[in-house]
A and B are shown apart, each in its own frame.
Chain A
């Protein structure tokens, strides 16, 4: 069965610090990859997605992620975080051919002003 690992459960950063959140998955076939964000009191929103093509994907709010097939990874990055980035971030993987999406357990990011 597909599994998705997010190694950082809770990250605390100061404003302007750089961010990298790790995500690894187990499925060896074709995958579609997503990062979702859940701001306090709000519902899940899509940050960015990878379907095919350029492995460096740019999303909203200055976030980007890089798909490294050989490492089964899809890490999320942002050069300079803001207090408004405080939220929980979920990595998700969809196996090609199925609509089932497997989510990681999430990483809570706290940005200190």
Chain B
């Protein structure tokens, strides 16, 4: 079974631009979560999608948004990029069918975003 894939793997953008990151979950997984990983803050939860609906959201500004498609693929968008948005963005998929099920998460390799 193929793992979680993320594209692109590396991205360099300038302040003020916007960026879209893509995540393809493991086949059959309908839950996709996004995390931001930085050396100072560690792993911080952005949001989680299940069946095209955002179920949970972390404490990030509205510049960070996402969506999920009917095939469970997910995209994350960051508008008006700031220097502080430089980070590794991780996507994780889970087989959890409902919010109550403890589906373990499988992580992708991440997209390294550098904002200059």
Binding site for B on A (CB under 8 A): 32, 34, 36, 42-46, 49, 51, 90, 92, 94, 96-106
A-B contact count (CB 8 A): 60
Provide the bound-state CA to CA distance between A49 and B56, in Å. 21
Select which of B33, B106, B108, B109 is within 8 A of A101 by beta carbon.
Answer: B33
By DSSP majority rule, is chain B's interface helix, strand, loop, or mixed?
A: strand
- 8 A-B pairs with least C-beta separation: A103-B43, A32-B102, A44-B107, A105-B42, A100-B56, A43-B109, A99-B48, A51-B102
Provide the bound-state CA to CA distance between A100 and B48, in Å. 7
> Once the chains bind, are B102 and A98 in contact (CB under 8 Å)?
no
In this assembly, does B45 line the interface, its C-beta being within 8 Å of a C-beta of chain A? Answer: yes
Min CB gap B73→A, angstroms:
17
Known contacts: A43-B109, A44-B90, A46-B106. The answer to whether A96 contacts B42 by CB under 8 A is: no
A98-B99, A101-B33 are known contacts; what are 10 more A-B pairs with Cβ within 8 Å? A34-B105, A43-B90, A43-B109, A44-B90, A44-B92, A99-B50, A99-B99, A99-B103, A100-B58, A103-B35
Question: What residues on A are CB-neighbors of B107 within 8 Å?
Answer: 36, 43-45
Question: What residues on B are CB-neighbors of A105 within 8 Å?
Answer: 41-42
Closest A residue to B108 by beta carbon equals A43
Known contacts: A103-B42, A103-B43, A104-B42. The answer to whether A98 contacts B56 by CB under 8 A is: yes
Provide the bound-state CA to CA distance between A90 and B50, in Å. 24
Question: What residues on A are CB-neighbors of B61 within 8 Å?
Answer: none
For residues 3 through 40 of chain B, which have their beta carbon under 8 Å from a beta carbon of chain A?
31, 33, 35
> Once the chains bind, are A102 and B99 in contact (CB under 8 Å)?
no
Min CB gap A62→B, angstroms:
19
